[in-house]
Structure 1
Amino acid sequence: MKGKSRLAVLLLFAFAIACKEEKKNGGGSAATGAPRNAPLQVEAFIVKTQSLSENLEVPGTLLPFEQTEIRPEISGRIVKLNIPEGSFVKQGTVLVKLFDEDLQAQLKKLQVQLQINAKTAERQKELLSIGGISQQEYDLSELAVNNLKADIDLVKVSISKTEIRAPFDGRIGLKAISDGAYISPTNLITTISQVAQLKMEFSVPEKYSDIMRKGRMVTFTIAGTPKTFNASILATESAIEANTRTLKVRTIVKGSDPLLVPGAFAKVGLKLDENDKALIIPTQAIIPQARNKRVALYSNGAVKYQVVTTGIRDSSYVQITDGLKLGDTVITTGLLAIRPESKIKLTKVQ
C-alpha cells in the first residue's frame, strides 16, 4: 500500500511541473509560431482609371473567294483535255472537249432540211398571193420551217455541252481524269478556285453576335510570319449554331499576299470594346459568386465584401462599372483565407 501511495504522489508532482512549464511558455501555439490573433498579410490594389480595351482571339480558316467542282453535263468520251494543273486560266477557256461528231452530222442534216423547207415556203407564199393554194397549206409549210429551226437550236445546245469551260478566272486544281476516258455527270474532272481574292471564316461566342456587323474590320495573323493582315465582315450566318452556341462569320481579306494560301489556319483578333477612362482592378481580385461578383475591400485594417458589376476586360485588368469608386483599396492575394472583419496587414500596395 505504501508503494502505491508513493507512486501516486510522484505522478501528481510531475503533472504539476508540466502545467507550470506550459504556462511559462505561453501555450503550445506560441512555441511554434506567431500569436493566433496576428494580422493576415496580403497585397492590395488602389482602384484607378486607365485606358482599357477588350480583345478576343479566335481561330479562322482562309478560303478561296469562289471554288467549284468541274463536272460534265452529259456523258461522252474525251477527245481533248486541257487542264493545266496548278495554273491560272481565264473565264471561258475550254478545259475538256467530248466527242460530238454524231451531233455535228445531225446538225448538218437539219440545216439541209431547213434550206429545202425554206424554199418550199417561199414558193407557197407566191402561190398564196395569186390564190394557187390555201392559207392552211402555207401555214403548214411555215410550221415545218419553224420546227426545223427549233431542232437545230436544240442540237446546238447539245453540242455546246460537249465543251466544258472555266466558269471564272481562277487556278486549276489536280485533274481526276485522263484523255480518252468516258465520263458522265457523276465524274469529277477537276476543281477551280478564285484565289486572287480570298475569304476567311471564323466563329464567335453568341454574346458577341450583335457587334458582328457588315463592314466591321478585323485583323489576323498566320503561321510563319509576324505580319498582320486585315479583313472586313461580309456576312454572318442567319442563326447561331445550337451545339456550340457560336455564330459563323465570313469576311473578305483585304489585298493579296503570296503567304495567304486557301485552307491556311488564321488567328483572328477582334477589338470588341474600348474605354479611355475605365475604372479598373486586377482580374484576380474578382471573387465569383453564384448570383453576382464581389471583391474584398480593405478599410482601416479590416476587410469587408462589396458586390460589383464588371464591364470589359483584358488579360490583366477588368472594368468596374458599379460598386467601387476611385481610390478604394481592394485585396488581391490571400482571398481564400480572408473572413469578414479579419485583421489585415498590407505588405504591398499597387
Structure 2
Amino acid sequence: MKRWIAIGLVVLVLGGIIVYNKILHPAPGAGAPGASGGGNGKGASDAKGGAGGGKNGPGGGGPASVNGFVVISQQLREDVVSSGSLLASEQVDIYPEISARITQLNIREGQPVSKGDLLVKLFDTDLKAQLQKLQAQADNARRTEERNKQLLERGGISQQEYDIVTTNLRSSLADIDLVKANLQRTEIRAPFSGVIGLRNVSSGAVVSTSTLIARLQQISSLKLDFSIPEKYGSAVHTGSLISFVVDGSNKQSQGVVYAIEPGVDEQTRNLRIRARVNNETAGNGQPLFRPGTFARVTLTIQNEQSLVVPTQAVIPQTRTNQVILVKNGKATFRDVKTGLRTAGTIQILSGLQKGDTVATTGLLFLKQDAPVKIGKVITIPGTGPKVAQN
C-alpha cells in the first residue's frame, strides 16, 4: 500500500513539472498552446538561432575560432638514465701458491707498489738445499755423459748404454727446473702497479693456498659498468660520452665508452656497456672515486634540432596520430609520425614542415575542410633544449 502511495506522489510531481514548463512557463520564442506560429515569426527566428549554436559555434555558419601553434624547430635531447658501478681498472686478490711460513712481509697497507715489487717471501730453505743436491747430481751426470761419449766414439760402449747416461742427465736438469719453479712460488710479486689494500696476515704466519693475503687494485683509471635497454643499442658506440654522478657528490663527471657486450642479456633484455673514467686526485692527493662506488649514469642518445608541437595538438588514433593543419582558413586532418615526448611537447618526425600552423583547441568539433579562424597563437614556454627522460 505504501509503495502505491509513493508511486502516485511521483506521478503527480512529474505531471506538475510538465504542466509548469509547457503551459504556465513556456520557453522563450515558443508559442502559446493552440498558437500556429503567426505574427512576424520572431519566436521561430530565435529558435533557429539557438539551434545553430551562434555565429562562431560548432556547426554555425561562421568559421570556428581556435588557438593555433606555428610549428618550430627546437633543440631536443634524449637521455637514458641507468645505474652503474665503478670498478678498478685492474684488480687481483693475492693468494700464495704453496703452503709455507711467511719469512718476509713487505706490504704497506694502502700504499702504492710498482710492478715486480716483492710483497711476500715464504720459507724456502728446504727447497734451496734440494736444489744444491740436484745441481751436484747434474754435474756428476754431465761428466759421466762426456766420458761415455768418448767411449762410444772409440766403440767402448754400445749406443744403448750411452742413451741411458744422457737420459739420466736430462732427468737431473728437469728436476733442477722443477725446484727452481717451486722457489719462485715462495716469492709473491706485484703483477702490476697499483695500490695494495689491507693485509690479512702477519709475518711468521703459516699460510696455505686458500689464505687471502691482500688485494691489489689499479685505480689511476676506473671502469664504469652499466646497462641500457636493447632498443638503444644502435645509438651507442665506442667513443660515446657518458656523464655520471656518485653518491655524496653533485658534480657531473665524464667517461668514454670503450667496450660493448656483443650480446643482449636474455633475462633483462639489457645491453651491458663499459666506459673508461679518469680517476683524478683531489686536493688532498686522494683519488676522487673508489672502486665499488654506485653511480647514476646518463647517456645521451639524441641531441639535435627537431620539429615539435604542443602535446594537446596531437590526436591519438588507432594506428597513427593526427594533427589539424590550418591552411587557407580551412581545417585539414594530417597524419604525423611522432617521436620523443617531453612534459609539454611531442617531436614530429614526418607529416609537418616548419612554419605550418596546427590547431590546439576545439579539436573535437572541427571537421575536414571546415572553416577555421585563428583567434590566438600560443608559444611553448622556455627557450632551452627539451630533454626526454627514459
What is the Cα deviation at residue 92 of structure 1?
1.7
Please tell me whether residue 181 in structure 1 is matched to residue 205 in structure 2: yes
In the other structure, the counterpart of 2:257 is 233
- 2:289 is equivalent to residue 265 of structure 1: no
Change (3 A) 1:255 1:14: closer
Q: CA 1:300–1:131 in structure 2 vs 1: closer, same or farther (change >3 Å)? A: closer
TM-score, normalising length: structure 1: 0.77
Aligned to 1:30: none
Aligned to 1:29: none
Task: Using the TM superposition, give the Cα deviation of residue 201 of structure 1 relative to its aligned residue in structure 2, in angstroms.
Answer: 1.4
In the TM superposition, what are the counterparts of 1:122-271 in structure 2 within 5 Å? 122-225=146-249, 227-254=251-278, 256-257=280-281, 258-271=287-300
Deviations 1:172-225 (A, max 9, x none): 122233433333333322221111121111212211101222223333344455
Alpha-carbon distance change, 126 to 308 in structure 1, aligned in 2, over 3 angstroms: same
Read off the aligned partner of 2:291 and give its amino acid letter: P
Q: Please name the residue that 1:4 is paired with.
A: none
Q: Distance between the aligned counterparts of 1:165 and 1:217, measured in 2?
A: 37
Structure 1 letter corresponding to 2:104: K
Offset of 1:151 from its aligned partner? 0.4
Question: Does the residue aligned with 2:101 lie in a helix, a strand or coil?
Answer: strand
Unaligned segments of structure 1, at least 5 residues: 1-7, 27-34
Return the alpha-carbon distance in structure 2 between the equivalents of residues 91 and 13 of structure 1: 101
The residue correspondences of 1:16-35 to structure 2 (distance < 5 A) are 16=20, 20-21=24-25, 23=27
User: Would the alpha carbon gap of residues 112 and 291 (structure 1) be closer, same or farther in structure 2, given more than 3 Å must change?
Assistant: same
Shift in Å, 1:42: 7.8
Runs of at least 5 residues in structure 2 that lack an aligned partner in the other structure = 1-11, 31-50, 59-63, 282-286, 380-390
Mapping of 1:1-350 within 5 angstroms? Answer: 16=20, 20-21=24-25, 23=27, 44-225=68-249, 227-254=251-278, 256-257=280-281, 258-276=287-305, 278-283=306-311, 285-295=313-323, 306-312=334-340, 316-330=344-358, 338=364, 341=367, 349-350=378-379
Alpha-carbon offset, residue 66 of structure 1: 1.2
Could you say what secondary structure the match of 2:140 adopts? helix
Distance across 1 between alignment mates of 2:95 and 2:126 = 22
Question: Aligned-pair distance for 1:156?
Answer: 0.9
The alpha carbon displacement at 1:283 in A equals: 4.3
Paired with 1:332 and 1:256, the residues of 2 have a C-alpha distance of 51
1:249 match: secondary structure: strand
**In structure 1, how many angstroms separate the alpha carbons of the residues matched to 2:97 and 2:353?**
72
Are the aligned partners of 2:257 and 2:273 in contact in 1 as well (CA < 8 Å)? Answer: yes
* Residues 57 and 24 of structure 1, relative CA distance in 2, 3 Å threshold: same
Following superposition, the deviation at residue 302 of structure 1 comes to 9.2
Q: Please, which moves more after superposition, 210-219 or 105-114?
A: 210-219
1:300-329 CA distance string (max 9 Å, x none): 999776432023565654321223333444
Q: Is the 8 A contact 2:230 2:264 kept in 1?
A: yes
Deviations 1:226-262 (A, max 9, x none): 5443322211112112232221111112463432322
Give the secondary-structure state (helix, strand or coil) at the position aligned to 1:23.
Answer: coil
- Contact 1:50–1:280, Cα closer than 8 Å, also in 2: yes
CA RMSD in angstroms, aligned pairs only = 3.8
TM-aligned CA distance change 1:36 to 1:96, over 3 Å: farther
TM-score, normalization by structure 2: 0.70
Mapped to 2, the partners of 1:80 and 1:329 lie a distance apart of 82
Q: Give the superposition deviation at 1:135.
A: 3.5
**Contact 1:52 1:313 survives alignment (8 Å):** no
Moved more, 40-49 or 99-108: 40-49
Paired residue total: 331
Percentage of identical aligned residues? 42
The whole-number CA distance in structure 1 between the counterparts of 2:155 and 2:17 is: 158
1:260–1:24 distance in 2 versus 1, CA, 3 Å: same
Letter paired with 2:208:
S
Structure 2 Cα separation of the partners of residues 269 and 211 of structure 1: 14
Q: Name the stretch that deviates more: 11-20 or 250-259.
A: 11-20
Q: Note the C-alpha offset of 1:15.
A: 5.1
Shift of 1:127: 3.5
